[in-house]
Structure 1
Amino acid sequence: MPIPQIDSTHDAALSVALDAAINNKTKPLGSLGMLEPLAKQIGLIQQTLAPQLLAPAILVCAGDHGIVAENISAYPQSVTWQMVENFLRQGAAINVFARQNGCALHIVDAGVNHDFGPREGLIDLKVAHGTRNFAWEPAMTMEQCLGAMQHGMALAGSLEGNVLGFGEMGIGNTTAAAAIMHKLTGIAVGDCVGAGTGLAADGIRHKQQVIEAAVARHTAANTALEVLSTFGGFEIAMLVGAMLGAAQRRMVLLIDGFIVSSALLVAARLQPAILDYCVFSHCSDEHGHRRMLQHLAVRPLLQLDLRLGEGTGCALALPLLQAAVNFLCEMATFASAQVSGKIA
């Protein structure tokens, strides 16, 4: 499967023009803080001085993980399919926040260990009924991994709009994400592992030991795709493909928390220019996320101590993207408002 080619958003002339447009608004230089580079980034992505956010959507991919057999989660695996049902009934936090902000929500069965049958509102792209237990064998075959990525690329290519947020659901997926983070960043496992759905200190230590043993078992997994197929989940692989497909279409990529950021680590290894398209919605309260963001040298918009997943951070950050676009397109300049500029 060919990896989509992603162009850098760097455009020297447009960059200068965007800086001038932002700096000439009726405000002191830099006084809108992080909204200013955000407006510039969106302008560069869309290649215009007048960007727009069209039909924003969030993609929530769900999948189960064989690693739950190692007792690494505070919740049973059945919670994955039960929460998918909750999404379909419009009862989860992501439903509330997406609805509040006029954002479309797409729920995907990437590999849940449950048969839903045909369901309105559920996109069935199930690769298998959950991954295998990576404590003992690779989580998926390379064929399954690439298939999940291909599904994600195709899905991103089918959506309308130019803003796509990414969310996930899958009991055990913080363990998969921590293993991916460790392998791709070299950060110690202990600095990647957190409480997930609410483990106590003993549970976190056990989770760390499980990952360390698995990493020692799978020493041959080193490339981004090998790491993804060995330690990842179907929902994570599908998110990797969707991110690559969305960036190829020059969409704004709105990144959620720890698990979604682990998918981005893989995507960025495959196509480093994808980072030009990414807006990081928040810094999760999950232990490793801050280190992950530091590794990527990026700054999140929000710090709300979230650790729910589902794409909730994306939905909450969406109004900030709209504010950035709106001030760039609608705010008066010193000249148009006949306001005196800064004294030289």
Structure 2
Amino acid sequence: MIYFDNSATTIPYPEILRTYQDVSNKFFGNPSSLHNLGDKASRLLAASRKQIADLLRKEADEIFFTSGGTESDNWVLKGIAFEKAHYGKHIIVSDIEHPAVKESAKWLADQGFEISYAPVDSRGVVALDQLANLLRPDTILVSVMAVNNEIGSIQPIQAISELLADRPTISFHVDAVQAVGKLPISAYLTDRVDLASFSGHKFHAVRGVGFLYKKVGRRITPLLTGGGQEKNLRSTTENVAGIAAMAKALRLTLDKEAVALPQIAKMKTIIHDELANYDDITIFSEVAADFVPNILTFGIRGVRGEVLVHAFEEHDIYISTTSACSSKAGKPAGTLIAMGIPDKVAQTAVRISLDDDNEMIQIEQFLTVFKQVYARMKKVR
């Protein structure tokens, strides 16, 4: 089996699964309970929070645990909107955001907020001048992802931070879900970033756990109310085993970053350069400094992406049609449409997303299979 769908979800590291199981067995008390078992779980929770904060060079009281990136994004969009509604009701999101952000923005529009969409250029990068033109006195939030999940374009977070430097009334949110282990922390957690979303299963933790970075002093309305966990901002019994495993996964991922990324970039380049030799291939991702090294999106003209996904699946090779969250809807990649790619071409897109688990021999096998699949598709399209 060759797994090239790591942007959808990564395979948990074996040591992460062991940590999850050990914590589940030994720290099963509710962290809110007064007895010793609850105290042990609470202390492990605090240690995990501190470890994550230290790894990101932030403070422990700036880390809030969630169920993942979708919840964190929803919380930010809705929580900031209602917290700051008396200052204004204008929100800006980029035109290539994950559905967790864009759908939250659409919901807020139904609640009386005004949403502006910052366009991107032909390479899938937010156009700074056009973003600047959207800013208004009543703007309360700007939300831009660090790395686009569909083609891997890196967004200019530092430049946007500078653009917002003299606008302290605007909260700046970064969806960093695809950035962990692919970019230096400073590239997506600048001093100007107020909030950032993270999802554990994107960096080899288990599914169903993530966290939100919220800068000290920034106010946000709770999305979940109840027992008062997470400083009364996110009520629900904490997933201690998942959180402890996620903290460890983050450490392992960041520890491997320096060695893993050059190898991943080399594998992407080999695939990219080989695909470029074929006729009727459109490559949407670039081998460039402003694209992450692990995502390569391409299409065969006249072949829908889902057909190609299933063709490779027959050979036990797993890729995806760009965004996993939208793939079953059968819609063309929203990022490609925002880039000005025609619908018919966008519908051909498939995404390879690599990780440190992948090896060069898998790249060779993929390219061998690709030659067979391409020949087959050429006969039928």
TM-score, normalised to structure 2's length?
Answer: 0.23
Answer 1 or 2: which has greater strand percent: 2
Answer 1 or 2: which has greater helix percent: 1
